[in-house]
Amino acid sequence: MVHNDDDNQNTNGNMEVDEMESEEEYSQDDDEEEEEENNDYETLTRQIAEKTDRTKYDPSQNKEERRQIREELRRLSKKMEENKRSLLQADNDGLNEGIQMQNEVYARIKNVSEATIDSKLLVMTADLGAQKARNLKLDNDLFNADEFVSKIKTLGGSRSKLDWTRIGNRAFEYNQRAHTIDFMLGPLSVEKKQRKTVRQVRIIKNKEDLVQPTQLQEGDIAQQENETSANVNQIYKILDENGPINYLEFITNPESFSQSVENMFYVSFLIRNAVAEIDDSSGQPILTTRAPPAPEELAEDLTKKQIIMSLDIPLWKDIIDTYGIRSSIIPTRPRRQQSMTSTRWY
């Protein structure tokens, strides 16, 4: 059977047309999927923009305006720091003026970094206000004895002998009532109190009821130190696997307040040994591991910052509710059961 060259060309042409149509269909499907994803993204972006209160938070705020706000806050902070002595004076109203200026700047703040600077300035203002209140002496302005005597001399005349008749007539205008006996000091008759003598009964202690405190041995202290080291190493491994992470979410155990305090204690060892650090530049305390300092850095005396953190039960509950903590990142450690017949105490 003989095939014509025209037939072969028609067959090849049909195959090429089919391939081009398939490519166009795939391309059209990809374009439709991409267009659908773009529409979903635009819809989500529009919904977020509609629900965001731009008067409180605006990530797209003008950079020049943000820079100007930071400069004004730093200028106010520097001014208060330089004029601290004069601001503490009772007749100085500069503190109220500074608060008013700070409120005007705060109305334009819409981002976290500027709000952080504003909060530091607010703390400084509050400290100055508290110190100024402590320095006030309200009792001194109620009655000035020297001024009163000077007024009496002026009213009674400038002579060596006062005009008591004139002074009495002036005082009579403000004292038109019968005098009571409440001006007397003490009772009319004084009765001498009889001192009562009370004999103390000697208490006989039963030696069997006495409980002697148990002396701690070196082995007990070594066991406690080994347990602390093991817990610190375990927490370092957990932090290295899960970090960087919010410090409060990391240490908080929603099942146990006492273990939350212990976690805070163990993390402090990691920070002291410079194998972990806390960064609060984002407005949140972010905890992460870090490389230990080199011997050269230790020789140059690294700059260290020390802070004191407290944790009570109300704050512990607030942290759990705020961050929605349902389980502890650091596993709950089993409690040691002490024998009821043990005479040891810790």
What's 221-232 look like in SS3?
A: HHHHHHHHHHHH
Which range marks the domain in which residue 297 is found?
218-323
Beta-carbon neighbour count of residue 265 at 10 Å?
Answer: 13
* Structural domains of the chain, count: 2
For residue 177, being part of any structural domain is answered with: no
Both structure tokens of 272 = 């002291």
Assess if residue 190 is contained within a domain. Answer: no
**In this structure, what token pair is assigned to residue 299?**
């020789």
Q: Which residues pair with 287 in a beta bridge?
A: 245, 278
Domain assignment of residue 307, yes or no: yes
Q: What does the buried/exposed string (b/e) look like for 30-49 if buried means 16 or more CB atoms within 10 Å of the residue's CB?
A: eeeeeeeeeeeeeeeeeeee
Q: 279 pairs with which residues across the strands?
A: 286
Q: Do both 319 and 223 map to the same domain? A: yes
Last residue of a domain, one of 106, 135, 164: 135
**What's the token pair of residue 241?**
């696997």
User: How many other C-beta atoms can be found within 10 angstroms of the C-beta atom of residue 251?
Assistant: 25
Pairing mode of beta strands 245-246, 276-279 = unpaired
pLDDT at residue number 75: 92
| 330 in any annotated domain | no
Q: For the purposes of burial, counting CB atoms within 10 Å of the CB of 286, is it exposed (0-12), middle (13-18) or buried (19 or more)?
A: middle
Q: Identify whether residues 224 and 129 lie together within a single domain.
A: no
pLDDT at 341: 41
H-helix segments, 180-300: 218-242, 247-251, 257-272, 295-299
In whole angstroms, what is the distance from residue 265 CA to residue 226 CA? Answer: 15
User: Is 123 a domain residue?
Assistant: yes
Co-location of 223 and 314 in the same domain: yes
Of the candidates 58, 102, 55, the residue with the CA atom closest to the CA atom of residue 80: 102
Give me the half-sphere count of Cα atoms (radius 13 Å) on the Cβ side of residue 212. 5
- The alpha carbon dihedral of 320, 321, 322, 326 has a sign of positive
pLDDT for 343 equals 44
Ordered strands of the 286-289 beta sheet: 245-246, 286-289, 276-279
Average pLDDT, 10 consecutive residues per value, the chain (346 residues): 49 52 57 69 72 76 90 92 87 88 90 90 91 72 74 75 82 72 62 76 67 60 71 89 88 92 90 86 88 72 74 92 90 66 44
* Tokens found for residue 330: 């650091």
| Helix extents (H) in the chain | 5-51, 63-82, 84-87, 94-106, 112-135, 145-156, 164-172, 218-242, 247-251, 257-272, 295-299, 313-323
Assign residue 265 the CATH number of its domain: 1.10.10
Flag whether 187 is in a domain. no
Q: How crowded is the C-beta side of 273, counted as CA atoms within 13 Å?
A: 12
Is 301 contained in some domain? yes
Structure tokens at 260: 């939350």
DSSP 248-260: HHHH--TT-HHHH
